Amino acid sequence: MLTALKVRLYPNKEQQIALAKNFCCCRFVWNYYLNKTNTQDQETGKGLSYCDMAKDLTQLKKVAEYIWLQEVSSSALQQSLKNLETAFKNFFEHRAKFPKFKSKHQKQSLRYPAGCSIKSGSVQLPKLGIVKAVISKNNLGKIKSVTVCKSSVDKYFAAILFEVEDVRTNKEGKISGIDLGLNSLVTVFDGETTYKVEPIRATKKYAKGLRPRQQSLSRKKKGSNNRKRQVKRVAKVHQKITYTRQDFLHKLSHKLVSENKTIVVESLCVKGLARTNKAKSVLDSGFGMLVNFWDYKLKRVGGMLVEVNRFFPSRKLCNCCKYKNDSLTLKDREWVCPKCLTHHDRDENAAKNLRSEGMRILSTNTVGHTEFQACGEGVRLASNSTRKQRSRKQESPVTPSV
């Protein structure tokens, strides 16, 4: 099993200069062959493969004008070409946008696919030597690669990808339905009790310090040294916001994963929600980040994440009699079922319905899957709506063996 560990690096001045050269060369190789691939594709209708680019790079380093490419690690340059090929493949398979040219004014990164090791609490990198680091784990597995990056506030980090033994066990715990929202970040129902966790709203918390810095930045002349220094001041506030949000979500996800063996959540379209008038609050909440944390942390301990289709009417269904209230609006935080007269809290009712739907999905899917997608066509109740969502793939009707 592959896992990663992000550590802070503290390179000395010589190593910082060497890293700057590595960043520059990897960025140049990416931009050079991206431009060359685009030009050849326009002329011949066929781009360059990784093998073609690697052969050309070998000859390019012998040219006197580009002799400085030999000063850096050749494996890092070849990895930059592999990343470019992967970017094109993701574009043609409609998983990502078209590759863009890299800028020296943005976050810098490079990957060492080999030649890295951990020695006495430090990281040894090709042609850089031993770089001082803060490593929280003592025994790491076999290192597969190391990705070094430099943030916008001149901090260096290394993401160490290593291989460890798969020690997953059948995790014991509860099955909880969790409803994500803006007023309450999570509403959890574990079958017995219901509780809510309020969001921290990190952006709003640091807005008072961010506003004057951004106003000062807007008055600085573009290209001046004062503007560059002010950009770093603004970036430090944004970094503080990011770290605050990540720290809160990591602690929340760890608490929920330790208490539950299965988490049922709605598969929200965060990109679509970011186009609404609640975009700032949605992005500040970090819905996608929280779900990702649940996913990989549950897989580590043998748990399971079940995602219910976003078109499942979890908020409109009465969890007692399954009556669907089509007249419910976003402003209605509480409502009374007209059929069974049960009083519902909107978020708590949604969490209960999600848990019930998640248990139904688990009973109709094959045991061993770590993630499920509920088809919207099978879980929606009949309504007066003329439009009906169609699912692309139906769930497997296989019943799990006991």
Q: Which residues are known catalytic residues? A: 179, 266, 347
The sign of the dihedral angle between the CA atoms of 96, 97, 98, 104 is negative
Q: What is the 3-state secondary structure (H, E, C) of the chain?
A: CEEEEEEEEECCHHHHHHHHHHHHHHHHHHHHHHHHHHHHHHHHCCCCCHHHHHHHHHHHCCCHHHHHHHHCCHHHHHHHHHHHHHHHHHHHCCCCCCCCCCCCCCCEEEEECCCCEEECCEEEECCCEEEEEECCCCCCCEEEEEEEEECCCCCEEEEEEEECCCCCCCCCCEEEEEEECCCCCEEEECCCCEEEECCCCHHHHCHHHHHHHHHHHHHCCCCCHHHHHHHHHHHHHHHHHHHHHHHHHHHHHHHHHHHEEEEEEECCCHHHHCCCCCHHHHHHHCHHHHHHHHHHHHHHCCCEEEEECCCCCCCCECCCCCCECCCCCCCCCEEECCCCCCEEEHHHHHHHHHHHHHHHHHHCCCCCCCEEECCHHHHCCCCCCCCCCCCCCCCCCCCCCC
Gap between the Cα atoms of 266 and 313, Å rounded: 10
Return the structure tokens found at 387. 């439009």
Return the structure tokens found at 173. 């715990």
**Angle of helix 287-300 versus helix 225-259 axis, rounded to 10:** 50
Gap between the Cα atoms of 77 and 156, Å rounded: 19
343 strand-pairing partners? 336
Looking at this protein, which amino acid is placed at residue 183? N
Gap between the Cα atoms of 273 and 368, Å rounded: 32
